Chains A and B, each alone.
Chain A
Amino acid sequence: DQQVKQNSPSLSVQEGRISILNCDYTNSMFDYFLWYKKYPAEGPTFLISISSIKDKNEDGRFTVFLNKSAKHLSLHIVPSQPGDSAVYFCAARGGSQGNLIFGKGTKLSVKP
């Protein structure tokens, strides 16, 4: 069973608009969430994270929102740029001894 779900395999957005990537999780023990970005032929790179004690974390154009009651988090990219086109992975940690569990990813395409 999938503990971290990214239900949208792909998303297409116009340059300058907002990109919203969604992620749902099932394990209420998860206490730390991360987003990674992956370009083809490269390894994933860390983008932004949020602890379960917060509901929002911002870093430049990237903001992650966490709704614990809904077990949902989202990544907002404003404004979107063509260079943001990549696969975005949501990941969650289950407790202090847990490994990172990743979703299947969402491929974002930002059109000029």
Chain B
Amino acid sequence: KAGVTQTPRYLIKTRGQQVTLSCSPISGHRSVSWYQQTPGQGLQFLFEYFSETQRNKGNFPGRFSGRQFSNSRSEMNVSTLELGDSALYLCASHESLVSGAGELFFGEGSRLTVL
């Protein structure tokens, strides 16, 4: 069974630009969560989707948005990029309705650098 696939793996943007990251969950998984990892800050929850609906949202500004498609693939978008948005963005899929129930399966992440 293929794991969680995230694209692109690495990207460099400049301040003010926008970026879209993609995530393909494990086949059969209908829930997708997104996390931001920055040095010294651990994994901070961005949002969670199930069946194309956002079910939970973390404490991030409105510049961060996401969506999920009918095939469970998910995208997240960050608009008006700031230097502080430089981070590893991790996508995780899970079988359960909510991410807290059972383990999450993570992708390798998309490393975003904002210059």
| Contact flags A80-108 to B (C-beta < 8 A → 1, else 0) | 00000000010101111111111111000
B76 within 8 A of A: no
Complex Cα gap A46–B40 (Å): 20
Pick the interface stretch among A14-22, A36-44, A53-61, A68-76. Answer: A36-44
A32 within 8 A of B: yes
Complex Cα gap A93–B92 (Å): 15
Complex Cα gap A34–B43 (Å): 13
Q: Is the CB of B108 within 8 A of A41?
A: yes
- Chain B: residues with Cβ within 8 Å of the partner, total of 25
Q: Is the CB of A34 within 8 A of B103?
A: yes
- What residues of chain B lie closer than 8 Å to A98, measured between beta carbons? 56, 98, 100
A49 within 8 A of B: yes
- What residues of chain A lie closer than 8 Å to B35, measured between beta carbons? 102
Beyond contacts A89-B43, A95-B100: 12 other A-B pairs, Cβ-Cβ < 8 A, are A9-B40, A36-B106, A43-B4, A43-B92, A43-B106, A46-B103, A96-B100, A97-B100, A99-B56, A99-B98, A99-B100, A102-B42
Q: Which residues of B contact A (CB under 8 A)?
A: 4, 33, 35, 40-45, 48, 56, 58, 90, 92, 98-101, 103-109
Provide a sorted-by-A list of 17 A–B residue pairs whose CB atoms are within 8 angstroms: A6-B42, A32-B100, A43-B4, A43-B107, A43-B108, A45-B106, A89-B43, A94-B100, A99-B56, A99-B58, A99-B100, A100-B104, A102-B42, A102-B45, A104-B40, A104-B41, A105-B42
Given contacts A99-B48, A104-B40, A105-B42, A93 and B100 within 8 Å (CB-CB):
yes
Complex Cα gap A94–B40 (Å): 23
Complex Cα gap A7–B11 (Å): 32
Q: Is the CB of B106 within 8 A of A44?
A: yes
- What residues of chain B lie closer than 8 Å to A100, measured between beta carbons? 33, 45, 99-100, 104
Complex Cα gap A95–B56 (Å): 13
- What residues of chain A lie closer than 8 Å to B33, measured between beta carbons? 99-100
Q: Is the CB of A43 within 8 A of B90?
A: yes
Contact partner of A96 among B90, B101, B103, CB < 8 A? B101
- What residues of chain A lie closer than 8 Å to B40, measured between beta carbons? 9, 104
